[in-house]
Amino acid sequence: MSGDTRITGDIQVRALTKTFRTTTRRPGALGTLRSLVNPLWVTKTAVEDVTFSVAPGELLALLGPNGAGKSTTIKMLTGILVPTAGEVSVAGVVPYRERERNARNIGAVFGQRTQLWWDLPARESFAILRDIYGVPDAEHKARLREFDDLLELSSFWDTRVRHLSLGQRVRCDLAAALLHDPPVVFLDEPTIGMDVVVKEQVRGFLKHQVEERGRTVLLTTHDMTEVSRLAERVVLINDGRLVMDGTLEEIKRKFGDTWLVRATLADPEAAVSALPGIAVLQREGPRVVFGPEGSHAPTVHQALKQVIERYEVSDIALEEADLEDVMRAAYQGAALEASDVLEESAVRGGAGS
Amino acid sequence: MDHRSAPWNAVRVAWRITKLNFRAQLEYRAEFLLMIAIGAIWQVSVIVFATVLLTRFSGMGGWDSADVLLIAAMRMMAHGLFVLFLGRMHALAYRVQEGVIDAFLLRPMPVHRQVQLSFFPTNAIGDLTVAVALFIGALVRSSQEWTAGRIAFLIAGVLGGMLVEAALFTAMGSASLRYPAAQYWSRWLEELLGTFGSYPLNVLPKALSWLLTFGLPLAFVAYFPAGVLTGHGSALGVPMWLAAASPLIGLGLYLLSRLLWSWSLKHYTGVNG
């Protein structure tokens, strides 16, 4: 069976940009009327100059806050949208130039929407997709068996899609996206709204597809457990710009120096002041909370040493940031960086005019 | 594996999807019957019009009642075939909002074909039942001699009418890809075609008749082909060759609308665009 062989395909994205031209309303009632006859056009940049690549057999998490440009990027890579500028190649095909050829090389799941026929049982949808993609019957049956083993589909695949639960529906969508054995898979928040058991099953399925089958996967998610379980590499975008491309460890190093040292002082009246790179965040009687300050803050263990050396403490506890905190810091940091860039360009623009 | 979309394979897949969609509709029995009924009832104005025409009047605008009935029958048959084969454009604005077009763009099949195969138009059974009854009635009452040439033109006229209607709604569908408000224009267009499509347009004021010929090509759906068939060619307000070319004009308009569709799809900005 061809399903036993590893399949390869990469993703190359260079200087990808997508802008949308839209109208905006002028303020006030008169402005609204004026906009009707003389619309005010604005250009909104959804993705700007984004460059990254995904190697064959790699799972990359594309992360960013809501509205960062993740879905727009995926839509350009899948051939749904045509980029305004830049270059894209998916398994050697330019998606927006050869949409149908690209469709044969990719599978895609958008967690919030189904791609199955709403009124048909899921298994009928699979059969239609088999015909559309021209998959030989024996291969189709073998692949269905494989997916059934991993996702337990047979207990509900004869139910109409409109009657499936969210978890059942997304599992069917995953199977449908991979039935034609695509080398590249795009997953846009595939586990959104699922219970923990089904989430775990889906994660196992995705891990199997990458590690055993060699599929290239681009995943967007807000679930940091998913990121830590599945992704080795992360691309972070915000306001349409690429903020960071690196491993999870690199992101943690850059944005994850978030920690708290909670100390109870032996002398409740002792004077407390900031230490180098350490701020006093809170004080309630003998209880003091220290946190990092500035770009040269020490690590949590260095901070612990400094606090113990400086103050006499009766109790002390450490709190380190988990991945959720790291990403929150990363998103906020990215937002600040983006606003700095905007301010800088505004100043430059102002000076030049 | 050979991925070339051989026409035979395309037909086979389309037929398979249609069968499954039809079976899916059959499973909701009450809904299925209601859809057929609404298809027939929707045409009630045409049925009332035909009944009044046949029982109270001898003709209209210089056309005798049998000839007017032929306009109504051709228009309705063209409409029924349009609903059956090419009529899934009406709710396209909703499909865009639901992200269905995004999903269609992910499959190796033309998006227009996927729109047409997205569900089975059960209401077309009602439309066509009424249309066939009206068509038989019109042919029985007609005093024309139905030679092979006339029959061929009749069939071409009906197909041309179907294509004119398909062209108009494909253009509306193209607009729906970007402007959700286009769906209201689609409804208005459907009303307009239903209201004026079954009459000889020479009963209307000249400006309106001209508008329904060259502004909105309603005259090419049934009025002109029926005029050619019933010998009213010289009184149609356009050169005879233009009226006789109605089927070809239908084909041309449809091809143009498909070009517009392709262009619109290339500039598709999606739900969040």
Q: Count structural domains, chain A.
A: 2
CA distance A92 to A215: 15
pTM of the model: 0.81
Asked if B225 and B70 touch (Cβ cutoff 8 Å), the reply is: no
Partners of residue A81 in chain B, C-beta under 8 Å: 268-270, 273
Q: Which residue in A18, A83, A79 sits closest to A48, CA to CA?
A: A18
Please provide residue A219's backbone torsions phi and psi, each rounded to the nearest 5 degrees.
-120, 135
| Paired sense of beta strands A184-188 and A106-110, if any | parallel
To test the contact with chain B by mutation, choose from A75, A116, A140, A180 the residue with the greatest count of B C-beta atoms within 10 A, namely A75
CB contact under 8 A, A131 and B20: no
Q: Crossing angle of helices A137-151/A166-178, nearest 10°? A: 140
Judge whether A336 lies within some domain. Answer: no
Q: Which residue in B128, B24, B19, B135 sits closest to B72, CA to CA?
A: B135
Shortest CA distance from A116: residue in chain B: B103
Measure in Å the smallest separation between the Cα of A177 and chain B Cα atoms: 10
Q: Can you tell me the mean pLDDT for B187-195?
A: 90
A213 and A72 housed in the same domain = yes
Judge whether A174 lies within some domain. Answer: yes
Asked if B204 and B212 touch (Cβ cutoff 8 Å), the reply is: yes
CA distance B270 to B273: 5
Least confident of A39-43, B46-50, B86-90, B171-175: B46-50
A15 and A102 housed in the same domain = yes
Asked if A193 and A223 touch (Cβ cutoff 8 Å), the reply is: no
Is the predicted pLDDT of residue A336 greater than 70, yes or no?
Answer: no
Is the predicted pLDDT of residue B233 greater than 90, yes or no?
Answer: no
Task: Determine contact: B31 vs chain A, CB below 8 A.
Answer: no
Look at A204 and A28; give whichever has higher pLDDT. A204
Q: What is the pLDDT of residue B1?
A: 44
Confidence band for B144, pLDDT divided at 50, 70 and 90: confident
Please provide residue A81's backbone torsions phi and psi, each rounded to the nearest 5 degrees.
-115, 150
Q: Can you tell me the mean pLDDT for A26-39?
A: 83
Ordered DSSP codes for chain B: ------HHHHHHHHHHHHHHHHHHHHHSHHHHHHHHHHHHHTTHHHHHHHHHHHHH-SEETTEEHHHHHHHHHHHHHHHHHHHHHH-TTTTHHHHHHHTHHHHHHTSSS-HHHHHHTSS--THHHHHHHHHHHHHHHHHHH--S---HHHHHHHHHHHHHHHHHHHHHHHHHHHHHTT-TTHHHHHHHHHHHHHHHTTS-GGGS-HHHHHIIIIIS-GGGTTHHHHHHHTT-GGGSSS-HHHHHTHHHHHHHHHHHHHHHHHHHHHT---TT-
Domain that holds residue A300: 259-320
Confidence band for A256, pLDDT divided at 50, 70 and 90: low
Measure in Å the smallest separation between the Cα of B183 and chain A Cα atoms: 20
Q: Which residue in A226, A274, A265, A218 sits closest to A248, CA to CA?
A: A226
Q: What is the pLDDT of residue B165?
A: 97
Judge whether A342 lies within some domain. Answer: no
CB contact under 8 A, A20 and B98: no
A246 and A270 housed in the same domain = no
To test the contact with chain A by mutation, choose from B13, B32, B101, B105 the residue with the greatest count of A C-beta atoms within 10 A, namely B105
CA distance B101 to A113: 11
To test the contact with chain B by mutation, choose from A19, A84, A105, A128 the residue with the greatest count of B C-beta atoms within 10 A, namely A128
Is the predicted pLDDT of residue A334 greater than 70, yes or no?
Answer: no
Q: What is the pLDDT of residue A335?
A: 59
To test the contact with chain B by mutation, choose from A71, A82, A98, A99 the residue with the greatest count of B C-beta atoms within 10 A, namely A99
Distance from CA of residue B12 to its chain's centroid?
24
Measure in Å the smallest separation between the Cα of A288 and chain B Cα atoms: 47
Average pLDDT along chain B: 90
pLDDT in tens, A276-307: 889 898 899 999 999 888 777 888 888 899 99
CB contact under 8 A, A79 and B106: yes
Confidence band for A6, pLDDT divided at 50, 70 and 90: low
CB contact under 8 A, A78 and B12: no
Q: What is the pLDDT of residue B272?
A: 56
Look at B103 and A331; give whichever has higher pLDDT. B103
CB contact under 8 A, B269 and A81: yes
Partners of residue B12 in chain A, C-beta under 8 Å: 131
CA angle A14/A133/B87 to nearest 5° reads: 95
A160 and A193 housed in the same domain = yes
Is the predicted pLDDT of residue A349 greater than 60, yes or no?
Answer: no
Judge whether A339 lies within some domain. Answer: no
Is the predicted pLDDT of residue B237 greater than 90, yes or no?
Answer: no
A28 and A59 housed in the same domain = yes
Asked if A24 and A96 touch (Cβ cutoff 8 Å), the reply is: no
As for the ipTM of the complex, it is: 0.80
Measure in Å the smallest separation between the Cα of A60 and chain B Cα atoms: 20
Is the predicted pLDDT of residue A90 greater than 90, yes or no?
Answer: yes
State the burial class of residue A211 (Cβ atoms within 10 Å of its Cβ: 0-12, 13-18, 19+). exposed
Distance from CA of residue B240 to its chain's centroid?
23
A141 and A190 housed in the same domain = yes
A234 and A290 housed in the same domain = no
A179 and A275 housed in the same domain = no
Within 10 angstroms of residue A133's Cβ, the number of other Cβ atoms is 20
Q: Can you tell me the mean pLDDT for A89-102?
A: 95
CA distance A108 to A131: 18
Shortest CA distance from A176: residue in chain B: B107
Is the predicted pLDDT of residue B257 greater than 60, yes or no?
Answer: yes
CA distance A83 to A289: 49
Q: What is the pLDDT of residue A253?
A: 73
Domain end among A253, A268, A297: A253
Distances (CA, A) of A173 to A107, A129, A144, A161, A347: 10, 11, 13, 10, 49
A152 and A301 housed in the same domain = no
Q: What is the pLDDT of residue A340?
A: 53
Task: Determine contact: A103 vs chain B, CB below 8 A.
Answer: yes
Is the predicted pLDDT of residue A17 greater than 50, yes or no?
Answer: yes
Is the predicted pLDDT of residue A181 greater than 90, yes or no?
Answer: yes
Measure in Å the smallest separation between the Cα of B54 and chain A Cα atoms: 43
Please provide residue A33's backbone torsions phi and psi, each rounded to the nearest 5 degrees.
-65, -40
Is the predicted pLDDT of residue A350 greater than 50, yes or no?
Answer: no
Percent of residues, chain A, with pLDDT higher than 70: 91
- From the list A115, A133, A134, which residue is nearest B103 (CB)? A115
Partners of residue A106 in chain B, C-beta under 8 Å: 106
Burial code of A222-250, b = ≥16 C-beta within 10 A, e = fewer?
A: bbbbbbeebbebbbbbbbbbbbbbeebee
Confidence band for A352, pLDDT divided at 50, 70 and 90: very low
Shortest CA distance from B115: residue in chain A: A117
pLDDT in tens, B239-251: 999 999 999 999 9
- From the list A46, A82, A131, which residue is nearest B266 (CB)? A82
Confidence band for B49, pLDDT divided at 50, 70 and 90: confident
Q: Can you tell me the mean pLDDT for A309-314?
A: 92
A279 and A149 housed in the same domain = no
A178 and A73 housed in the same domain = yes
Judge whether A220 lies within some domain. Answer: yes
Domain end among A253, A282, A308: A253
Partners of residue A71 in chain B, C-beta under 8 Å: 272
Q: Can you tell me the mean pLDDT for A125-141?
A: 94
CB contact under 8 A, B108 and A136: no
pLDDT in tens, B91-110: 898 889 888 999 999 999 99
